[in-house]
Amino acid sequence: MRKSSISIVFLLGLLLRSLSAKSKEEPLAPALYAFGDSLVDSGNNNGLPTLNKVNYMPHGIDSSMGPQGDSTNGKTVVDFIAQMLGLPFAPPYLGLSRAQRSQIITGVNYASGAAGILPESGRRMGKCISLKEQVDYFQSTIEMDLARNFKDLEAISDHLSKSIFFISIESNDYINNYLQPDYYNTSRQYSSQKFAGFLMHHLSEQLKKLYKLGARKMVIFEIGILGCIPSFTNANNSNGTCVEEVNKFVFEYNRLLPVLLKKLKSDLFGSFFIHGQAFDSGLNVYQNPCFKYTNIPCCIVNHNETKLFIPGQAPCKDRDQHLFWDSFHPTQAANAKTAAGCFNQSTTCSPMNIQQLALIKKDNPHFDLIEVD
C-alpha cells in the first residue's frame, strides 16, 4: 500500500520536472488567475478578521515555504497546475503590497477560505471574499497593475486571452449557507433545485464579467463529493459513510453547470470553458486503494464550528495515504491526482484538459477589452 502511494508522488514529480524543463524557454500560458474558496486559497484570509485562518503549523508542513495560508500539508490543485504550466505559484492578492502587485504579470490568487458565490456564504465566521469581490479585485489588477506593464489595452487583452482562469468556489454556498438552517434561511426559501439554479445565475454573471474583462480560457470546477468529507461522514451517526442526502444537493448543482458552460461558450465569442468534474473524479480518488484512510483526517481537528487543525498538534506521518488533511480539505497527494487528471489526462476535465486549452490559439484575431458597467 505504501509503495503504491509513493509511486503517485514519484510519477507526478517526474511529470513536473519534465514540464519544468520545457518551461524554462517559455511557459504554456503567460499567467494563471485563481478564484475560489479554501481549496485554493493561498493566504488571502491571513489578514482578514475571520476564524478561517490556516497560517500556522502544521499546515504547509510538506512545503519548503511552510504555512502560507493553504488548507493542506503542501500544494493545492492550483499550485500543481501553475507548476505544470511552467509558472510560479500565483500569490495571494491581499498578501501583496501595492508595489508587488504592480510587478506581477504571471497571475494572482484571489481565493478566500469560507467564501462562496453568494456574498453572505461563510460570513458567520468572519470576513471572506465572495466571488463577486474576487472578480472586482481582478478588475483592479487589470486597471491598476497590468496597465503598468503593458503598452496598451490591446497588449493586456492579448495577455489575458492566453492566460488560464481557474474557478472553484461553490461548496461553501452549501456547507456555510444552505445546510445551516439555524443561521441561514436559504433552505426555507428555495428547494434544492431552485437553489442550484439561483447559484447558477449568480455564477453566470461573474463568468460573463470575467469574459468582458478579457478572460477567454476558463476552468470551472463543480462541487466535489461533499457528502463524503469527514465533516459529514464523522458526524450525525454517519458511521464513516458518505451522506447521500448532501450529495443529492450537490448533484442538483453539478447537473446544471455543464449546461451553463455550453451556453456561455455559444454566447461568448472566442471563449473556452473546461468543466472540472470534481464529483466523479473525487469519487474515483475516494475509492483509490492508494488512499488507505478516506474518512480519517490526517490531523486532530477542533470541535468548534471551523473543524480545522488544532495549532501545534502533530499531523499523521503517512500523509500520502490520507485522502483528507482536515475535516474539509484534501491532502497534497489527493490534490496531485486531481491536478494531473485535469492537466494532461482526460479523467477530470472535459471537453479538453488544461494542457490542450493552453495550446489553443486565438480564433479571433483581435480581442478588445469590453468596458464593464
**Residue 318 CA from chain centroid, whole number:** 25
d(C-alpha 101, C-alpha 7), whole Å: 38
Is the separation of the CB atoms in 223 and 253 below 8 Å? Answer: yes
For this structure, is 326 an active site residue?
yes
The question of whether 318 is a catalytic residue gets the answer no
Residues facing 219 on adjacent strands:
166, 274
Q: What residues does 220 pair with on adjacent strands? A: 167, 275
Catalytic pick among 5, 38, 130, 271: 38
Residue 329 annotated to the active site: yes
62, 275, 326, 327: which is the annotated catalytic residue?
326
**What DSSP line would sit under 329-366, residue for residue?**
-B-HHHHHHHHHHHHTSSSSEESS-HHHHHHPPPSSS-
**What is the C-alpha to C-alpha distance for residues 131 and 232, in angstroms, rounded to an integer?**
25
> Cell numbers of 342, please?
485535469
Residue 99, phi-psi category: left (phi > 0), alpha (psi -120 to 50), beta (remainder): alpha
CA 134, CA 150: separation in Å to the nearest integer? 22
Which residues are catalytic, by number? 38, 326, 329
